[in-house]
Amino acid sequence: MTSSPESHVNTASRPSELKITDMRTVTIGNCTIIKIYTNQDIYGLGEVRDGAGKEYALTLKSRILGENPCNIDKVFRRIKQFGHHARQAGGVCAIEMALMDLSGKAYGVPAYQLAGGKFRDRVRIYCDTTTSHDAEEMGHRLKERMEMGFTFLKMDVGIGLLKGIPGTLAAPSGMLETSTVMHPFTGIRLTDKGISVLSDYVGKVREIVGYEIPLAADHFGHIGVEDCIRLGKALDKYNLAWYEDMIPWQFTDQYLRLKNACDTPICTGEDTYLKEGFMDLFEQQAISVCHPDLATSGGILETKKIGDLAQEHGIAMAMHMAAMPVAQMASVHCAAATENFVVLENHYVDVPWWNDIVTGLPDPIIQDGFMMVPDTPGLGIELNEEVVTEHLSGKDPGYFEPTNEWDDMRSHDRLWS
């Protein structure tokens, strides 16, 4: 009796026969991790963006059951209509990450290989740093990041630093206390004194960290484009890496005004869904750096397409990220596969247990300001059940419990007659 050729081959699975059989979730803080099961002994992990509930993913479960997860683009095209800008894209993006993880495991290759291969073996990281109203303290906090090995920094510089300082802000009653009104409609104005205070703040930070290291600025507050331009001009002399999200990404004409008025690169994109959402900003040359969040922009493959489209227009790509290691590693694979990538964000440098959520990576995951690109199949990670269980959300304490109630949701999804 002769053995079959397959008996001599270590196959990860039978990819052509893979079928999605289930999807379940677990919630850590305000982040939801999804797990997509198959009819073979492999599964995929994805993550819903912070601030979006698990329902964004579960409502799509019935639409992917029975599908072959290796048909990533086919499944993505079926569900992408259910995503939208900002957190509303969370479910679509989480599923795409999980499909990339699954397909990589099925074929025995890392996710970046499915995105066309890699341009780099490690990914530069910049980290979130808690704001201080004291510029000297803020400078020393950032200096500590440099001592940890980080080679790219970011800080918040905005009207929040001016609250309580007389003569720095003019605003209609109640507007300084709300964040639900878009920037052009708040009526909040910076005074010359306010701009001077913020300029001195950045100057003091620069004195401490020096000018050799890139330092970006974010969270300016809900001020109109005219005051963004005034502030931007005042801060230009500090050679910042970029001004981030000064105004909502939707207002391309205002971004063009801002970019043409300032000497510092202009950056936006963390709330933008799909490459089509970036098209006007790119075609109008309204920004210098696009900043997609992979858990909003469409997942690994779509974000690589965004980066490629940006490159065609002479625009760099940095990546926003505030997530557990699942979405962080999906971003690492995307960054590795995108030529014009610059730097990736991380929000959990000061949270020790973040490193323990997954296994399969170096400890700590970020070393000397970089994350290594794993060569193991899929995303290259597995969950550490014990650690995840320790940090379950109090509002949603289950650990990948059955979600059968989402199996049979049906509607007329077709967008054409």
- What is the tens place of the pLDDT at every residue in 299-336? 999 999 999 999 999 999 999 999 999 999 999 999 99
Residues ≥6 apart with Cβ < 8 Å to 213: 146, 151, 152, 153
| Nearest alpha carbon to residue 40 among 62, 64, 70 | 70
CB-based contact 102:18 (threshold 8 Å): yes
Task: Set out the domains of the chain in order of their start, with CATH numbers.
Answer: 12-108+387-406 (3.30.390.10), 114-376 (3.20.20.120)
Question: Measured between alpha carbons, how far apart are the two ends of the chain, in Å?
Answer: 56
Rounded average pLDDT over 354-377: 96
3 vs 256, higher pLDDT:
256
What is the DSSP annotation of 321-361? Answer: --S-HHHHHHHHHHHHT-TTEEEEEES-TT-GGGGGSEESS
- pLDDT over 60 (residue 225): yes
- pLDDT over 90 (residue 128): no
The residue count for the chain: 417
**Per-residue pLDDT, 416:** 83
CA pseudo-torsion sign 348, 351, 352, 356: negative
- What is the tens place of the pLDDT at every residue in 43-58? 999 999 888 889 999 9
pLDDT band at 192 (very low <50, low <70, confident <90, very high): very high
**Per-residue pLDDT, 395:** 83
- What is the tens place of the pLDDT at every residue in 88-111? 999 999 999 999 999 999 999 999
CB-based contact 379:100 (threshold 8 Å): yes
**Per-residue pLDDT, 12:** 67
Rounded average pLDDT over 288-308: 98
Task: Please state, in angstroms and as integers, the Cα–Cα distance from residue 80 to each residue in 34, 47, 155, 240, following that order.
Answer: 17, 16, 33, 36
CA pseudo-torsion sign 280, 298, 324, 403: positive
Mean per-residue pLDDT of the chain:
95
* Pairwise CA distance, residues 355 & 331, whole Å: 16
What is the DSSP annotation of 161-198? Answer: GTTTSTTSEE--TTGGG-SSS-GGGS--EE-HHHHHHH
Residue 309, both tokens: 């489209």
